[in-house]
Amino acid sequence: MESEDEEELVSSDDNEKLCDRSDTAYVTNHLALPASCRILVRNGTCLYYTEWNRKTHLSMSKDEEFKLMYGMIFSIKSFVSRISPYDLKDGFLNFKTSKYKLHFYETPSGLKLVMNTDLTAGNIRDVLHQIYSNIYVEYIVKNPMCELGVPIKSELFKTKLDDYIRGLSVFPMKLS
């Protein structure tokens, strides 16, 4: 089942040097399950964006989209933790509209991963965690040519991420 329109938030800014861990690496995948994937860095710069099935595009520029995304994530996170009637375990996980679902995962180091999928996706926190530990840490952190906090340019990372997402069982076979 495909959703009729999926919105993707993707933004890639140039990243600035970070001095404190507040950037978010924002990787959002829109899975057509996945449709778009963004990695945001702590200070709101987007390290990486990719999309698979994005159907509609927003009218604003990528930069604006990223800033919007970062601001929204930041606000929702703090809102969720403040309004919670219980002690928070994980905090903000995802939100759902009638057309798409946005998943969020933040690492202790401040890297934020955002993924947009359609409504059939369940909890893909594990997927985001795998992306972080098996792909980001392996191919970006361990790559001497990739500075942390800088938009990702490594081809290897792109390939591995793409292969991983396409290999997931939730990804539709007929994806072009």
Specify the residue, 104 or 136, whose C-beta has the smaller distance to other proteins: 136
Select from 83, 87, 108, 144 the one that contacts other proteins (CB under 8 A).
Answer: 144
Per-residue binding string, other proteins, 152-171, x by CB under 8 A, is --xxx--x------------
Q: Which residue, 75 or 109, has its beta carbon nearer to other proteins?
A: 109
Indicate whether 173 belongs to the interface with other proteins (CB under 8 A): no
Question: Toward other proteins, which CB reaches closer, 1 or 145?
Answer: 145
Give the N- to C-terminal CA distance of the chain in Å, as an integer: 15
Least CB distance from residue 145 to other proteins, whole Å?
A: 5
CB of 148 to other proteins, least distance (A): 12
Closest approach of Cβ 143 to other proteins, in Å? 5
Shortest reach from residue 49's CB to other proteins, in Å: 19
**Piece in contact with other proteins (CB under 8 A), picked from 1-9, 32-40, 79-87, 141-149:** 141-149
Binding mask 95-134 for other proteins (x = CB under 8 A): ----------------------------------------
**Least distance from other proteins to the Cβ atom of residue 13, Å:** 22
On whether the CB atoms of residues 49 and 11 are closer than 8 A, the answer is: yes
SS3 annotation, the chain: CCCCCCCCCCCCCCCCCCCCCCECCCCCEEECCEEEEEEECECCCEEEEEECCCCCCCCCCHHHHHHHHHHHHHHHHHHHHHHCCCCCCCCCCEEECCCCEEEEEECCCCCEEEEEECCCCCCCHHHHHHHHHHHHHHHHHCCCCCCCCCCCCCHHHHHHHHHHHHHCCCCCCCCC
Cα–Cα distances in angstroms (integers) from residue 121 to residues 2, 33, 75, 105, in the given order = 11, 6, 24, 15
Residues near other proteins (CB under 8 A): 138-139, 142-145, 154-156, 159
